[in-house]
């Protein structure tokens, strides 16, 4: 058995029977992102998923005018997601995560349509942008651990014609990420240089997360 278990022995006053009740630590990914869930499954983790019910854009709007940068915003959103899911799942260990993309101080969000994806790629073309990936772990509203990783990605100079062909090839998958690309697929062809951890780019700094799970005896060390 992995993780910490709570063993309670109850004895029946009539039958003198001992019953061993085992309660494992419950791990929840506070997201319905198929990419993050696949990363955790590939790592051999056992967990459930629960989508956080928060208004991300409203939270970001409330932070405007502050000194928080893209990395700070990602951390705030990751904690907000984990807190919300934790409030509905007593005693569970909830993983919250968020990723922001910034270019010269401008924050990017997932494009809402293919025209938005095209504009994203035109702005990122020939530039170096930052991917800020935050992850945290919350239990019963208490922040047990948090981590931030940053990756720097330099995109090639892309012609409008190439962007059009690329988006036609990848289709609606372009709408599922803040940069309108997936590095694990054809999106890798967009780049000249990448500096940073692969899992950070995919939106979940997996190695620090696994360390934290071991430290809290949720997985074997």
Catalytic positions:
98
Tokens coding 131 = 């991917």
C-alpha to C-alpha distance for 31 and 169, rounded to whole angstroms: 27
C-alpha to C-alpha distance for 2 and 23, rounded to whole angstroms: 11
Q: Can you say how many angstroms the Cα of residue 60 is from the centroid of all Cα atoms in its chain? A: 17
What is the CB neighbour count within 10 angstroms for residue 13? 5
CA separation (Å) from 108 to 24, 84, 88, 165, 213?
Answer: 39, 24, 30, 22, 31
Q: Contact 87/140 with Cβ under 8 angstroms? A: no
Q: Contact 218/209 with Cβ under 8 angstroms? A: no
Secondary structure percentages of the chain, helix, strand, coil, to 5:
40, 30, 35
């Amino acid at each position: 058995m992995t993780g910490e278990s709570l063993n309670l022995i109850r004895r029946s006053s009539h039958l003198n029977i001992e019953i061993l009740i085992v309660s494992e630590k419950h791990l929840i990914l506070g997201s319905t992102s198929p990419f993050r869930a696949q990363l955790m499954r590939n790592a051999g983790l056992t967990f459930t998923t629960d989508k956080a019910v928060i208004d991300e854009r409203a939270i970001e709007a409330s932070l405007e005018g502050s000194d928080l940068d893209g990395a700070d915003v990602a951390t705030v959103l990751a904690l907000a997601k984990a807190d919300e899911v934790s409030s509905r799942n007593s005693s569970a260990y909830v993983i919250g995560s968020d990723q922001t993309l910034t270019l010269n101080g401008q924050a990017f969000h997932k494009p809402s349509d293919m025209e938005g994806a095209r504009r994203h790629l035109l702005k990122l073309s020939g530039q170096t942008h930052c991917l800020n990936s935050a992850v945290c772990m919350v239990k019963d509203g208490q922040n047990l651990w948090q981590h931030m990783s940053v990756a720097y990605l330099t995109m090639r100079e892309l012609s409008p014609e190439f962007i059009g062909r690329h988006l036609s090839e990848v289709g609606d998958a372009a709408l599922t990420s803040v940069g309108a690309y997936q590095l694990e697929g054809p999106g890798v062809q967009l780049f000249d240089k990448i500096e940073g951890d692969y899992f950070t780019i995919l939106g979940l700094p997996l190695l620090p997360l696994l360390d934290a799970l071991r430290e809290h005896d949720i997985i074997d060390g």
